[in-house]
Amino acid sequence: MLLSKVDKVVSDYIVKLGLALLLPRLYLEQQLKECIVKMIQKLLVVCLLSFMTSVVSADTLLINTIEKNTTVERPDRGMSRAQVENLYGKPIKKYSPVGEPPITKWSYANITVFFEHDHVIHSVVNRK
């Protein structure tokens, strides 16, 4: 009986000692896993942000390129149809009004002009 109590105390001590030795290792492994997960999350965020930045900058460059094309003279916003026809001549094609307010489009060789009612709202250089 005494021997079994001693065996139990010794075995409990061994189990406690073993867990004490094992716990720091488990704790370190858990910290390592958490650190790796955080690093992967940060890497994904950085990749996503860099991808979004490249897309945004590409759009900006395209818009800047189009806006810089000022070698072709275009009518100013607010000009009337009569003024546009006096300066640029008869258009190659006049499109029917669309929508409300009515938007009309006139096509010339190098430009396209958009009117709302009787005034220019926008003009663009045609692609070649």
At 61-80, the pLDDT tens digits run 555 555 555 678 889 899 99
pLDDT digits (tens, 9 = 90+) for 5-37: 656 655 665 555 555 555 555 555 677 777 777
Are 64 and 85 in a shared domain?
Answer: no
Residues 11 and 61 reside in one and the same domain = yes
Separation of alpha carbons 111 and 88, rounded Å? 10
If one counts the domains in the chain, the total is 2
- To 5 degrees, how large is the angle CA 24–CA 28–CA 31? 140
Is 48 exposed, middle or buried (CB count within 10 Å of its CB: 0-12, 13-18, 19+)? exposed
Mark whether 15 and 61 lie in a shared domain: yes
Asked if 97 and 58 sit in the same domain, the reply is: no
Q: Tell whether 35 and 61 lie within a shared domain.
A: yes
Cα dihedral 121/125/127/128 (nearest 10): 150
Predicted TM-score of the model (pTM): 0.48
**Domain limits at 116?**
81-125
The answer to whether residue 96 sits within a structural domain is yes
Q: 53 and 108 share a domain?
A: no
